[in-house]
């Protein structure tokens, strides 16, 4: 069988491409159930790259956590940092995070990006939109912040910051619990530990679950999340999937549904970093169970459903980047059902 060659931009936190991490120019094939795979490095020299988005012509928008947005050409050439990116809180886990292009990018050249926004001595998650001017020197124009997270500020941890746009053009954004404010994930009066849903202009869709509820933020779609850094729509079912970091153990994959409570920190499968107990139990009425969890943690970051033609045996599988073990996890499903039946490191 011929080797299957997959290209990598050395982005450890994005599963938008099948292969993550660096590889040498003479990498040896790795055996897999789909055949021998060779990982080819496309670009090097990026500083803590966090996410990528493919432009229609195959070039990539790539974020660097320090606050730079670059374009990577198909042959791996890096552009200068694009002008127009707002100041970011580049400290700890904070910085410039996810980026996506609008579903109608060919007409409006609109992109969306998420970042840690500096506020006083701390930071909060913010979502911005901008128009990518891709002629001459590429740059951002008409930059507008369409969402600011409300709640206790972060000192540098757990920003979440993954974006998904659905076929109705609405935007989902994940947000972490800022590590020190974990109990606020159960408080509907702020955005800590939540997934929100907004329109492209930042307004609130009228069918959001908490619209009109006293004491609740109308942007909230789901709550009880710790630090969700994976978000993707399953093309087979149309459902929103999410993964989040647990503490010591208890990384989760969830199917995110309207108005549901995913339990953090009341229920879970991990323990605190000190070894002490966090959760009341592993389950509780009114709180959702994950469809997959890991103990010990794999440190998930980035996820994507595979819809390509290169690897037909893996079509429809879910790929999740794993930071702790520096590997790519592949999850198989029970036909078109939202049920994981197996997972593999290859």
Active-site amino acid positions:
158
Q: Is the dihedral of CA 253, 16, 84, 108 positive or negative?
A: negative
CA angle, residues 321, 168, 230, in degrees to nearest 5: 15
CA angle, residues 90, 218, 220, in degrees to nearest 5: 55
Q: What is the dihedral of CA 249, 254, 258, 262, to 10 degrees?
A: -20
Cα distance between residue 172 and residue 252, in whole Å: 18
CA angle, residues 110, 229, 204, in degrees to nearest 5: 50
Cα distance between residue 338 and residue 29, in whole Å: 32
């Amino acid at each position: 069988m011929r080797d299957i060659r997959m290209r990598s931009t050395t982005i450890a936190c994005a599963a938008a491409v099948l292969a993550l991490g660096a590889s040498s120019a003479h990498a040896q094939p790795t055996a897999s159930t789909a055949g021998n795979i060779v990982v080819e490095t496309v670009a090097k020299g990026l500083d803590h790259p966090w996410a990528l988005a493919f432009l229609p012509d195959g070039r990539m928008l790539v974020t660097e956590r320090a606050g730079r947005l670059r374009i990577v050409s198909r042959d791996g050439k890096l552009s200068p940092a694009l002008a127009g990116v707002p100041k970011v809180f580049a400290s700890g886990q904070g910085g410039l995070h996810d980026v996506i292009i609008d579903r109608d990018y060919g007409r409006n050249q609109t992109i969306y990006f998420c970042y840690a926004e500096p506020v006083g001595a701390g930071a909060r998650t913010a979502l911005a939109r901008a128009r990518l001017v891709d002629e001459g020197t590429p740059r951002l124009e008409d930059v507008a912040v369409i969402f600011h997270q409300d709640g206790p500020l972060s000192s540098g941890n757990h920003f979440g910051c993954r974006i998904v746009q659905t076929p109705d053009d609405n935007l989902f954004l994940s947000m972490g619990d800022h590590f020190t404010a974990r109990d606020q994930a159960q408080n509907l009066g702020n955005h800590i530990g939540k997934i929100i849903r907004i329109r492209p202009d930042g307004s609130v869709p009228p069918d959001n679950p908490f619209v009109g509820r006293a004491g609740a933020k109308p942007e909230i779609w789901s709550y009880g999340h710790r630090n969700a850094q994976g978000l993707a729509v399953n093309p087979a079912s149309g459902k929103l999937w999410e993964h989040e970091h647990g503490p010591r153990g208890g990384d989760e994959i969830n199917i995110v549904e309207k108005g549901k409570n995913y339990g953090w920190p009341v229920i879970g499968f991990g323990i605190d970093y000190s070894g002490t107990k966090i959760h009341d139990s592993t389950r509780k009425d009114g709180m959702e169970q994950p469809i997959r969890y890991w103990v010990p943690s794999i440190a998930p970051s980035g996820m994507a459903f595979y819809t390509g033609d290169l690897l037909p045996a893996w079509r429809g599988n879910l790929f999740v980047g794993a930071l702790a073990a520096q590997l790519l996890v592949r999850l198989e499903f029970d036909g078109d059902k939202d049920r994981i039946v197996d997972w593999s490191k290859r």
